[in-house]
Amino acid sequence: MDERLAADLVAVLDKRRVRVESLELALYARDASVIEGRAGVVVFPNSTDEVQAVVRVARAHGVPIVPRGSGTGLAGGSVPLDGAVVIVTTHMDRILEIDEEERVAWVQPGVLNLDLSRAVAHLGLHFAPDPSSQQSCTIGGNVANNSGGPHCLAYGVTSAHVLAVEVVLPDGSLTMLGGLDPDPPGYDLRGAFVGSEGTMGIATRIAVRLTPLPPAVRTMLADFPTVEGAAAAVSGIIAAGILPAALEMMDAEITRAVEAYVHAGFPTDAAAVLLVEVDGLPDGVDAATVQIDEVCRDHGARHVRVAADLAERALLWKGRKSAFGAIARIAPNYYLHDAVVPRTRLVEVLTKVYEIAERHSLVMMNVFHAGDGNLHPLIVFDRRVEGVMERVHAAGTEIIEACVAAGGVLSGEHGIGLEKRDFMHLIFSPDDLDAQARLREAFDPNGTCNPQKVLPAGARCGDLQRIPEGAWI
């Protein structure tokens, strides 16, 4: 720990909001992924001015910075390396302004996703992107990773709901990207920033679009005797011209774990279940519900259940969004992947995923956004078992390669971070990587803002650099 750096940070914040204790540094050296790094100092600014001050102090000391929200990221995006200053924005948690007429809210980055929707519900509005971690993830983190969620099938991921972002750049200066005008002049730097995973600066104020609550909603649970039947029903629903608000799939293993945990009435003898939600005007919702019921039964669904009321709907969604908590009853650790494949190849890729798990003697579950082909293979394990991490990482690599080979991409919502950085060459050419590196350098010419993330070292020429030794747990 650099005592002079810590002292200068205390001078611009205060002693309580500058943490250098070994326990604190260990806690903030990782996120929700299986990757661990090394933090030098952890700070908790309360305002844009304080973020600027912290960035300038770190810059003066030649120390890199790593922005961090709640730490729910799953790709190592907020894992600090080489003793970086971790700038935690969770204290910046105020909803600054709500414009009901324009349906816009200005928020600080530490506002929790679900808290924003709760704050505007009385106005008949909500914030549409809904990651499964929405009870704990922050808007700033959603912006950094361009987060998705179950209802992003119809409503779009975070980038579709961000109008403007106030950003502290890596040199400590302040800029506004985007704006509230329908077509802000100039390049869409807001679009470039959303999803940049903290490599271009730190969001300190965000204008988000608020979406009206739908007048009618139907939530349906269909169970199938085969995974193939459930996957075929997914394609059948889309082919019928129906775009559900959400279309989620869970396999047998995760369904049993969730039911034991939440008791939502999920069938424990099904090979797969679909959770389908449609919303909109009442007549259209009623018609879509009938069509979805028919499509599911045509593809072998044993039962199709429609939630009777808001309480039952909430319970079904609690089951889906508690999936990752439910697996703690099985093993203490998990490794969750995030790749996207064409819907028509879901069964093929899922079959390969199960084969990979069996070959590496690992427990595999699947819960994912089936409507847009966003797979979430979930490896459940106990890292205290000797040699298990090697098997987990080997299986993870094979899963990524299988998804890309099927015409997929590396991530649908979790980001690249450290986890997938060294696989970028699978989908991007040297010229592609060079263009991305040039854009990043326009924001951060010194490479001090969340370094070693997203792009492999040597991206200008397509060279790769492995994750630093010791970064993997």
Give all strands (DSSP E) within 32-187, no chain letters.
39-43, 65-68, 84-88, 95-99, 104-107, 125-126, 162-168, 174-178
Separation between Cα atoms, residue 213 and residue 140, nearest integer Å: 23
Per-residue confidence (pLDDT) for residue 460, from 0 to 100: 61
- Between CA 112 and CA 155 the distance in angstroms is 19
Give residue limits of the domains in the chain. Answer: 3-88, 95-212, 216-324, 331-405
Three-state secondary-structure class, residue 357: helix
Cα first-last separation, the chain: 22
The angle subtended at Cα 386 by Cα 383 and Cα 387, nearest 5°, is 90
Count of beta carbons in the 10 Å neighbourhood of residue 464: 14
pLDDT of residue 325: 84
pTM of the model: 0.93
CATH number for region 331-405: 3.30.70.2740
- Does this chain's domain 95-212 share its CATH topology with 331-405? no
Could you read off the pLDDT of 439-464 as tens digits, one per residue?
Answer: 999 999 999 999 999 999 876 654 44
Residue 276 C-beta-side C-alpha neighbours within 13 Å:
31
- Distance, C-alpha 212 to centroid of its chain: 23
H or E, element range at 59: helix 48-61
**Which tokens belong to 235?**
């394609």
Contacts 24+ apart (CB under 8 A), 426-430: 426/400, 426/401, 429/462, 430/461, 430/462
422 DSSP assignment: G
User: Distance between CA 179 and CA 158 in Å, rounded?
Assistant: 16
Provide the CATH topology of domain 216-324.
Alpha-Beta Plaits (3.30.70)
Query: Distance of alpha carbon 160 from its chain centroid, rounded?
Result: 15
In what helix (H) or strand (E) does residue 106 lie, and over which residues does it extend? strand 104-107
330: left (phi over 0), alpha (psi -120 to 50) or beta: alpha
Three-state secondary-structure class, residue 27: helix
Radius of gyration of the chain (CA): 22
Statement: 95-212 belongs to CATH 3.40.50.10860: no
Query: Residue type for 302, please?
Result: R
DSSP label of 409: B
Q: Give CA–CA dist 416/438, Å, rounded.
A: 18
CATH of domain 3-88: 3.30.43.10
CA atoms within 13 A on the CB side of 175: 14
Q: Secondary structure of 448-470 in the HEC alphabet?
A: CECCCCCCCCCCCCCCCCCCCCC
* Tens-digit pLDDT string for the chain (473 aa): 689 999 999 999 999 999 999 999 999 999 999 999 999 999 999 999 999 999 999 999 999 999 999 999 999 999 999 999 999 999 999 999 999 999 999 999 999 999 999 999 999 999 999 999 999 999 999 999 999 999 999 999 999 999 999 999 999 999 999 999 988 888 999 999 999 999 999 999 999 999 999 999 999 999 999 999 999 999 999 999 999 999 999 999 999 999 999 999 999 999 999 999 999 999 999 999 999 999 999 999 999 999 999 999 999 999 999 988 898 888 999 999 899 999 989 999 999 999 999 999 999 999 999 999 999 999 999 999 999 999 999 999 999 999 999 999 999 999 999 999 999 999 999 999 999 999 999 999 999 999 999 999 876 654 444 455 445 44
Secondary structure percentages of the chain, helix, strand, coil, to 5: 40, 20, 40
- Give the H/E segment covering residue 40: strand 39-43
Q: What are the CA-CA distances from residue 386 to residues 332, 391, 419 (Å)?
A: 15, 10, 22
Closest CA to 151 of 297, 326, 12, 275: 275
